[in-house]
Chain A
Amino acid sequence: MTDISSEISHNWASSNARSRISRRYRRDRWLRNTGVGAIVVAMGLLGILLTSLAFTGYVAFTTTKVKLEVFLDPAKVDRNEPGKASYRNLVREAFLANFPELKKRKNKREAIKILSSGAQYILRDKVMDEPELVGQTISVLLPLSDPFDQLYKGVVPRRINALARNRIASFESLKQRGLISVENGSSYLSLAIVVGPAILKNPKRGPLKKIMRRAFAELFSGETGRVNYKILSRDAVKILQARIRKDVNFAGDKLQVKLPISPIYDALNRTGKAEKLNPRFKSEKVLDLFDALVTRGMIASPFSWELFVNSDSRFPELAGLAGAFSGSLLALLVCFLISFPVGISAAVYLEEFAPKNKFSDFIEVNINNLAAVPSVVFGLLGLAVFIGFLGMPRSVPLVGGLVLALMTLPTIIVSTRAALKSVPPSIREAALGVGASKHEVVLHHVLPLAMPGILTGTIIGLAQALGETAPLLLIGMNAFIPSIENVGLLDPATALPTQIFTWGDSPERGFVSRTSAAILVLIGFLVTMNLLAIYLRQKFETKW
């Protein structure tokens, strides 16, 4: 026998083997580190999501208001019929009383825009509630309109960049070539212009402008993109014309002229910044008036109860979530009343009573599939069956709740079955042993013991239903609800997630923060519900 062990013996100490081993461990570390990286990426995205919503949303939890002294003139407000007075004029006069210097109607009209258009209704409601105030001078806090609300909170700037990045770049390229100069406090562009003799004799502005533009465009001949003619001042052609007229006999036909550039680029050249008034504000004057109010201490930004007690509004500073709360609450109520008993019954049947046959298999396959059907398909089902076939009205919480119930059902059934399964057989056998019927075993012993698990699953299912948007959108539960006077299962309604969708689509700047705030409220609800579920599970669940 030959000694084969010596042939395959391996020199673990050789540098080759060592480097192989260290390479293998390097690969192991690499896998571990990319795993950490993936977790960091996921957590970072979660962090960005939550912080960006919090940063845009927190400002909506306050409303900027102005404190006004309003004299409720008995000649204008009838104590017996306070609803009839013109509160618009009352608010207007009280507000403009702060600016006696405003004389022109146009200026007054601009100034009044600082106030929210809904301010008059707030005063009206206050007087309607307390008619005895008529005759007194009362001090009220009235909300500002959206641009000024956002300005006070520092969300929108007074002045914005007037020029896009590529426009600044085109100007910078001229500057680098030394074509821009400053004389007497304003900037000029040196341009070489070729002027034919015919035009020299009779310099009309039209053809001159064409020539000037052509010469200007040649400066950018090597570059792609549109030529930024806006750099040239509007007066440039006038200056050029004057220059030619003054200097008719200039030698050669190449004319080196210094033409003025437009004010905005002039500012960019001399100060490094090109800004203009934010177009949300009508004029600098209005901003001065607003600043005056701020320095007089009349502006404050208290906590916004309006966000919770107002209903939807076209004006972001007045829009609130009350309508969405009521709609979501009603729909969830319907959803719970249907899915909870039906889900438990189905789960009990499948887990405790159903014979093992094709039929119960089919039911199970259906339940598993329903859990994975896209939510928008449930919306189509609701639209076709509940609204189209059964003739129920659109936009109502009853239909919304029914659709949500169908979607929540699989969640409840699955969690109920898991809870039932976790009850040990000894309980069932003991109950059967003392003579209980099978139904009594389930009703008296198994179900009560499984209840914490069932409730946990139900709450989680309802939390999912609370965040569902697409099916509600399809059945029209995104109605505009300006007041919560008509709230019922059969009245048009909106829900929290559809309200978020509607606000998220609105163009006003104020709705951006309102949307984020509504999202924070929704997430608050979801977290509360999930914490409740966790608490229930830990407090009541029996470990066998």
Chain B
Amino acid sequence: MLSIIPLSLAALVLVAYFGGKNRAVAVVAGRRSTLHSRPLYHGTYVAVWVGIPALLLSLVWLFLQGPVIDILLVRSLPSDLRDGLDGSQLQLLLSEIRSLAKGSVFGNPTAEVIAAAERYKAWQVLAGWALVVSSLAISIAALVITRNHIAKRFYARHRVEQVLDWLMIACSTLAILTTLGIVVSLSIESLRFFDLVSPGEFLFGLNWEPQIPIRKGQVTAGGAFGAIPVYLGTLLIALIAMLVAIPVGLLSAIYLAEYSSKRARAILKPLLEILAGIPTVVYGFFAVLVVAPALRNFGQIVGMDIAPNSALAAGGVMGIMLIPFISSFSDDAISAVPRSLREGAYGLGATKGETIVDILLPAALPGIMGGVLLAVSRAIGETMIVVMAAGIIASLTLNPLEPVTTVTVQIVTLLIGDSEFDNPKTLAAFALGLVLFLATLALNVLALRFTRKYREQYD
């Protein structure tokens, strides 16, 4: 039934477009050049007014329909059925009614529930038809009204361009809305989490055991939410990643920017970028398949006990992923140092190596730092490598041979397969997400500062 709406709307829009176009031609009796706007704009003007309001109405309606019908349904339930029910029991009753309305019967529903299901079904049908009728009514009304606007001196093009402007502004604000959505949703869930667990414990506690009893009487740990071990693990893995990525990335950038021939650069640079294009889940599998067993075997030979999900394996593979990141940022920064500095150094008799180490690197340092900070932000936000290759249990250690866990691993493990946002376990994921978002945001802003300062210096 609801598929009528897009189809009929599309038909109406087409009718409006061609109707408007023809009408415009007819108004001036075929002398198109006397029209202010070309007939196309008149057609578009009508079509826009026919299409957009009805579309908006349908979207808003569809979002509101469910909650409104739920409220009505609860109101209509006999009071003895809904009295004394708390929120979750009421939800359970509602979902029973809904599934009954869909035709799947579990157990023996009471007469009241069956009646409610019947009402629910009827209201849904009613709401659907009401939507169809009202959206079509709006479209047709718009068609009639705007068609009458068409005249010789009607500025249809200006009107259409205005609408276009508003559409473009709306699209641009989507970026703001997304950021807002992230901040607001993470904050709300985190506040709910901090109702249950004190922020002090979360930020500074040393014990992270989020497994709380889900059923009554289930034996689990009490549920501790001190996230320091998780932060520490994240930092440890990021540090290992940086120890791999910075030397390799920076040195290869130096070679590519200063030493290599043009042809070698044209081949090597895209090859390096391949590393950046490989999805992170592939790196994660690589860590599990190749790197972790190799490290373990190496450890056995030299007599060290390396855990299969050690921080070293996850961090090392993450470092490989970040090599092209560091190298392309450093390459850009080194190449952007003005020729005059380079030639001044050569003129004083410096070797190429001395020019690079003493002149270019200090000059490019802010740009390189910006790249490194962005890479750190990537490293702490990277998910799949650590989910596959790092540990789940939070332990307070800085030993790279032992398993540690990270913020992103915890977010994923806390949320997979769990959809109810009412216990501290799932809410903790949002609090961790907020911390992660703020940390990466700070790093990104800082990195942007560095690069901008660098640009001001030389542009």
A interface with B by C-beta (< 8 Å): 24-25, 27-32, 34-39, 41-43, 45-46, 48-49, 52-53, 56, 165, 341-343, 345-346, 348-350, 353-354, 360, 362-363, 366-370, 372-378, 380-381, 383-385, 387-391, 394, 406, 409-410, 413, 437-439, 463, 466-470, 473-474, 476, 478, 497, 500-501, 504-505, 512, 515-516, 519, 522-523, 526, 530
- The reply on B280 being an interface residue by CB < 8 A is yes
Listed A/B pairs (6) with beta-carbon separation below 8 Å? A43-B271, A45-B275, A363-B175, A374-B408, A389-B185, A504-B388
One of B79-87, B134-142, B336-344, B377-385 contacting the partner: B377-385
With A42-B248, A381-B186 known, 16 other A-B pairs at CB within 8 A are A24-B354, A35-B251, A38-B247, A45-B320, A343-B171, A346-B175, A349-B171, A366-B178, A372-B378, A375-B381, A376-B436, A380-B186, A388-B421, A409-B174, A413-B175, A439-B164
Whole-angstrom distance from the CB of B353 to the nearest CB of chain A? 3
**Is B433 close to A, CB under 8 A?**
yes
CB contacts under 8 Å to A, within B240-264, are: 247-252, 254-256, 259
User: Chain A residues with Cβ under 8 A from B178's Cβ?
Assistant: 366, 370, 381, 406, 409
Q: How far is the CB of B409 from chain A (nearest CB, A)?
A: 10
Is B357 an interface position by the 8 A CB rule? Answer: yes
**CB atoms of A363 and B255 under 8 A apart:** no
Answer whether A46 and B271 are a contact pair too, CB < 8 Å, given A52-B290, A374-B382, A409-B174. yes
Q: Are A165 and B252 in contact (CB under 8 A)?
A: no
Smallest distance from the beta carbon of B76 to chain A beta carbons, Å? 21
A32 to B354, CA, bound (A): 11
Q: Is B448's CB under 8 angstroms from A501's CB?
A: no
Check A385/B181 contact, CB under 8 A, given A32-B259, A346-B175. Answer: yes
Interface of B is mostly: helix
What residues of B have a CB within 8 angstroms of the CB of A368 in the complex? 444, 448
Q: Does B104 contact A (CB under 8 A)?
A: no
Selected from A43, A48, A394, the residue in CB contact (under 8 A) with B290 is A48
Take A375-B383, A406-B178 as given contacts and tell me if A345 and B353 are in contact as well, using a CB distance cutoff of 8 Å: no
Give the contacts of B265-288 with A (CB-CB under 8 A): 268, 271-272, 274-275, 277-286, 288
Find chain B residues with CB under 8 A from A384 CB.
185-186, 188-189, 421, 430
Complex partner residue of B419 from A38, A374, A387, CB under 8 angstroms: A387
Q: Given A437-B157, A439-B164, A474-B415, are A36 and B255 also a contact pair (CB < 8 Å)?
A: yes
Q: Assess whether A522 is in contact with B279, with CB atoms less than 8 Å apart.
A: yes
| Residues of chain A lying within 8 A (CB to CB) of residue B189 | 384
- Residues 157-176 of B, flagged 1 when their CB comes within 8 A of A and 0 if not, give 10001001101110111111
Asked if B185 contacts A374 (CB within 8 A), the reply is no
- Given known A375-B383, A381-B185, A385-B185, contact A350–B279 (CB-CB < 8 A): no
Q: How far apart are the CA atoms of A37 and B66 in the complex, in Å?
A: 62
Complex formed: what's the CA distance from A515 to B189 in Å?
35
Chain B 400-414 against A: per-residue CB contact (8 Å), 1 yes, 0 no? Answer: 000000001001100
When each residue 302-336 of chain B gets 1 if its CB lies under 8 Å from chain A and 0 otherwise, what string results?
00000000000000000010011001000000000
Find chain A residues with CB under 8 A from B411 CB. 376, 380, 474
- For window 70-92 of B, CB contacts with A under 8 Å fall at none
Q: Which one, B176, B285, B300, B441, contacts A362 given CB within 8 A?
A: B176
Q: Closest residue to B297 on the A side, CB-wise?
A: A165
Contact B165 A353 (CB under 8 A): yes
B449 within 8 A of partner (CB): no
Most A-side CB within 10 Å, residue of B157, B164, B374, B382: B164
A497 touches B279 (CB 8 A): yes
Is B440 an interface position by the 8 A CB rule?
yes
Nearest CB in chain B: distance from A415 CB, A: 15
CA distance A41 to B271 in the complex (A): 13
What's the Cα separation between A437 and B38 when bound, in Å?
12
- Complex Cα distance, B282 from A284, in Å, reads 37
| Shortest Cβ gap from A281 to chain B (Å) | 23
Contacts of B437 in A (CB 8 A): 373-374, 377
In the complex, what distance in Å separates the CA atom of A38 from the CA atom of B288?
Answer: 24
- Complexed CA–CA distance, A38 and B254 (Å): 10
CB <8 Å contact, B279 and A373: no
The answer to whether B272 and A342 have CB atoms under 8 Å apart is no
Contact of B415 among A42, A56, A360, A383 (CB under 8 A): A383
